[in-house]
Amino acid sequence: DIQMTQSPSSLSASVGDRVTITCRTSQSIRNYLNWYQQKPGKAPRLLIFGAGSLQSGVPSRFSASGSGTEFTLSISSLQPEDFGTYYCQQSYTIPLFGPGTKVDIK
Amino acid sequence: EVQVVESGGGLIQPGGSLRLSCTTSGFTVTGNHMTWVRQAPGKGLEYVSVLYGRGNPYYADSVKGRFTFFRDSANNTLYLQMNSLRADDSAVYYCARVRGADYYYGVDVWGQGTTVTVSS
């Protein structure tokens, strides 16, 4: 089975900061990697699919890259509404989610 | 409007059964792949099952043999029949649409979730 890790597990950043989250898989998943944002008590929201494609309606400050076993999600200028937990999801095999990265605003 | 609405959650004793419903609007369940994802209290997201447009379901190992995902195409409604429930099945259950041809494109339409609590 493919194992997934995310780092950091949590972070606190200021409005305007650039934030980067990393997702790693135990074996290559090519570019079958999606990113979601979830706020407390709400359903997840798709941000990125196919490792680097921005979902419609998602602000352009979100970007992502990577292939194989290492992937990154970046927020170029953190906004107050970007707090929440970010999950990566591999879709190469069984669609497993990473453990999540909690983002707080300082 | 494209929408997914779950219902049917509640408190159930261990070993019991529960059927969750997922009503969709704005798209057809036969033309899309649909999935259930759950989230235990304070925990991360866990894939439960997918029902492909052709009607064939697949399950996570943790629910295989106990859960059944099926649909009523005429009413654009999906169901998750959950049997032999255990305490570790307690979670918010989300019904959602797989975008495009497969999971590569992500899961783009999510319901608000329905809570299942398995406890005596």
* B30 and B62 Cβ atoms separated by less than 8 Å: no
Would you say residue A1 has pLDDT above 90? no
Rounded mean pLDDT, A66-76: 98
The total number of residues written for chain B in this structure: 120
Pairing of strands A10-13, A53-54: unpaired
Q: How confident is the model at residue B50 (pLDDT cuts 50, 70, 90)?
A: very high
Residue A94: which of B37, B47, B110 has the nearest Cβ? B47
Residue B102: which of A43, A48, A91 has the nearest Cβ? A91
Rounded Cα distance between A90 and A23, Å, is 10
Q: How confident is the model at residue B77 (pLDDT cuts 50, 70, 90)?
A: very high
**Which one has a higher pLDDT value, A4 or B105?**
A4
Indicate left, alpha or beta for A96 from its phi (over 0: left) and psi (-120 to 50: alpha).
Answer: beta
* B94 and A36 Cβ atoms separated by less than 8 Å: no
Q: Which residues from B are below 8 Å from A when comparing CB atoms?
A: 35, 37, 44-47, 50, 60, 94, 96, 99, 102-108, 110-113
Would you say residue B114 has pLDDT above 90? yes
**Closest Cα of chain A to B16: distance in Å?**
26
User: Which residue out of A49, A73, A92 would a mutagenesis test of the B interface target, given it has the greatest number of B Cβ atoms within 10 Å?
Assistant: A49
Q: What was the pLDDT predicted at B53?
A: 85
% of chain A at pLDDT higher than 70: 100
DSSP states of B10-53 as a string?
EEE-TT--EEEEEEEESS-STTSEEEEEEE-TT--EEEEEEE-T
Rounded mean pLDDT, B48-60: 91
Query: B96 and A97 in contact by Cβ < 8 A?
Result: no
Beta strands in A1-106 (DSSP E): 4-7, 10-13, 19-25, 33-38, 45-49, 53-54, 62-67, 70-75, 84-90, 101-105
Rounded mean pLDDT, B3-29: 97
Residue A91: which of B37, B104, B112 has the nearest Cβ? B104
Would you say residue A23 has pLDDT above 90? yes
Would you say residue A51 has pLDDT above 90? yes
% of chain A at pLDDT higher than 90: 96
Identify the closest residue of chain A to B113 by CA–CA distance: A43
Q: What was the pLDDT predicted at B55?
A: 81
Rounded Cα distance between B81 and A47, Å, is 30
**Closest Cα of chain A to B46: distance in Å?**
7
Q: What was the pLDDT predicted at B54?
A: 84
